[in-house]
Structure formats: structure tokens, C-alpha cells
């Protein structure tokens, strides 16, 4: 065991990508073991490595952590990305739970049946531009600080940037009416650890594509549960 966290998931985004972003933002190197087949997932289960028979699983500090949010909370706490006090943590939690809600919709877009794609994309754009982005635009405008909470870098900044970039993959000009978020995106993208993660060749994964979708469907038996 190298002491580095080890991530168990398939070789794609899904529910593990935000964990990769947070570790990268904290400057933490990590190893990955990819599930390539359903057998790989079943083996992890048989070996008792998955508390709820599901991935993501992260081996860190002697634990085999599962449940995405639990893993993110632990990493944010360990690497001081969770605010200076309980009130800041409460605001950070409100912000990241909202980005997670939007992320959840976007991450399932590639798995939508073709006849539902257009409607699903429209709902992503509507929710992003009418419900979520206006909140972050106003928060940054009102306090005029570089970071969302407590005038210091936190998981809220990392997870909002991740979601902004995913939304832009759905609609490249989705930030056209959010000038403050455009500046925020550039500022957070230039933080050295994040700039490195955004470089080609990093452990950041590309969107689920036609090649990967059948593999994901077979690994998780999607549709035949």
C-alpha cells in the first residue's frame, strides 16, 4: 500500500469524478483500479471490499470508504477545504449539495435513451441557468471575494468549477448571462493544482462516450437490475 489513496471505479467519470477533482485540487496524488468487466465488480464484492456492494470505493488512511458524499466530506475535512467553522461548513454544504443535484442530472445524460436526449438536455440547461447559476453569480457579486465561502478556497469552489465545465460541454455558451461566473471560472482554473488537473494526460476523465456506455451498462447490469 503506497500510502496514496486508491480509487476503485470504472475508467470514466460517473460518481467518482468529483472525488478525483477534490483530491487533485488538494494536490493529493492517487492511484486507480478500474472495473473493466462485471466480473471485476463481483470480485470486489466477493472479497468484501464494498460495504454496500457498490462503487465508488476509496482506500484511504486504512479505510475502504464507500458512498460518494461520505468520501468527499472526509477528503474536504482532511485537506482543509471545508471552511473555518460550522456556519461556513453549512453554507458550503448547501452550495455543494446543489452542484451535486445538477451534476447528477448531467452525469446521467449519456445514459438517456435517444428519444429522451433533447428533453433531458433542455432540462439541464433550464435548471443550470434558472435555478443554480444565478445563486452562485449573486453570491460572488454580493461579497466580491475570490472564493464562494469564507474568503478562502474550499470544496464549494472546486465542485462549482467541475459542474460549470460539465454544463459547458452540454451548451458551450451556458455562462453567457453570468459574467461573474466567467471570471470565477478563469480564476479557479488557474489555481496551480487545478490547472495541472485540467492539463491533457491528467487523471481527469473524458465524458462518457459511445465506446464506454455499453461497458458501463454491462458492468452495472443497468436496465436488468
Does 14 interact with ligand P9H (rule: CB under 6 A)?
A: yes
Residue 89 or 109: the one with the smaller Cβ distance to ligand P9H is 109
Binding piece for ligand P9H, criterion CB under 6 A, among 21-29, 51-59, 164-172, 185-193: 51-59
Does 107 interact with ligand P9H (rule: CB under 6 A)?
A: yes
CA distance linking residue 48 with residue 30, whole number of Å: 22
Residue 69 or 143: the one with the smaller Cβ distance to ligand P9H is 69
Query: Shortest gap between Cβ of 109 and ligand P9H (angstroms)?
Result: 9
Residue 79 or 220: the one with the smaller Cβ distance to ligand P9H is 220
CA distance linking residue 152 with residue 5, whole number of Å: 25
Does 73 interact with ligand P9H (rule: CB under 6 A)?
A: no
Binding piece for ligand P9H, criterion CB under 6 A, among 50-58, 77-85, 133-141, 178-186: 50-58
Distance of CA 195 to the CA centre of its chain: 16
Query: Shortest gap between Cβ of 49 and ligand P9H (angstroms)?
Result: 12
Residue 81 or 107: the one with the smaller Cβ distance to ligand P9H is 107
Does 5 interact with ligand P9H (rule: CB under 6 A)?
A: no
Residue 73 or 182: the one with the smaller Cβ distance to ligand P9H is 73
Query: Shortest gap between Cβ of 45 and ligand P9H (angstroms)?
Result: 9
Tell me which of 23, 25, 56, 149 binds ligand P9H, using CB under 6 A.
56
Tell me which of 67, 152, 193, 218 binds ligand P9H, using CB under 6 A.
67
DSSP letters along the chain, please? --SS-EEEE-SS-TTTHHHHHHHHHTT---EEEE--SHHHHHHHHHTT--TTS-S-EEEETTEEEESHHHHHHHHHHHTT-S-SSHHHHHHHHHHHHHHHHHHHHHHTGGGS-HHHHHHHHHHHHHHIIIIIHHHHHHHHHHH--SSSSTTS--HHHHHHHHHHHHHHHH-TTTTTT-HHHHHHHHHHHTSHHHHHHTSTTSSPPPPP-TTHHHHHHHHTTTT--
The full 3-state SS of 182-201, as one line of letters, equals: HHHHHHHHCCHHHHHHCCCC
Does 216 interact with ligand P9H (rule: CB under 6 A)?
A: yes
Does 100 interact with ligand P9H (rule: CB under 6 A)?
A: no
- Binding positions for ligand P9H, rule: CB under 6 A: 14-15, 53-56, 67-68, 107-108, 216, 220, 222
Amino acid at each position: 500500500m503506497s500510502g496514496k489513496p486508491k480509487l476503485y471505479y470504472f475508467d470514466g467519470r460517473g460518481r467518482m469524478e468529483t472525488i478525483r477533482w477534490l483530491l487533485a485540487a488538494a494536490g493529493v496524488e492517487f492511484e486507480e483500479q478500474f472495473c473493466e468487466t462485471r466480473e471485476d465488480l463481483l470480485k470486489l464484492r466477493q472479497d468484501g471490499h464494498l460495504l454496500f456492494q457498490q462503487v465508488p470505493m476509496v482506500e484511504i488512511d486504512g479505510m475502504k470508504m464507500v458512498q460518494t458524499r461520505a468520501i468527499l466530506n472526509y477528503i474536504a475535512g482532511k485537506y482543509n477545504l471545508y471552511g473555518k467553522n460550522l456556519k461556513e461548513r453549512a453554507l458550503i454544504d448547501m452550495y455543494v449539495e446543489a452542484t451535486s443535484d445538477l451534476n447528477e442530472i448531467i452525469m446521467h445524460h449519456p445514459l438517456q435513451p435517444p428519444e429522451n436526449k433533447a428533453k433531458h438536455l433542455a432540462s439541464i440547461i433550464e435548471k443550470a441557468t434558472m435555478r443554480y447559476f444565478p445563486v452562485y453569480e449573486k453570491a460572488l457579486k454580493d461579497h466580491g471575494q475570490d472564493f464562494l465561502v469564507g474568503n478562502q478556497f474550499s470544496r464549494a469552489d472546486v465542485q462549482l468549477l467541475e459542474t460549470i465545465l460539465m454544463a459547458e460541454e452540454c451548451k458551450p455558451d451556458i455562462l453567457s448571462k453570468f459574467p461573474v461566473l466567467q471570471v470565477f471560472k478563469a480564476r479557479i482554473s488557474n489555481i496551480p493544482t487545478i490547472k495541472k488537473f485540467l492539463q491533457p494526460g491528467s487523471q481527469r476523465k473524458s465524458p462518457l462516450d459511445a465506446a464506454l456506455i455499453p461497458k458501463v451498462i454491462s458492468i452495472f447490469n443497468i436496465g436488468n437490475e
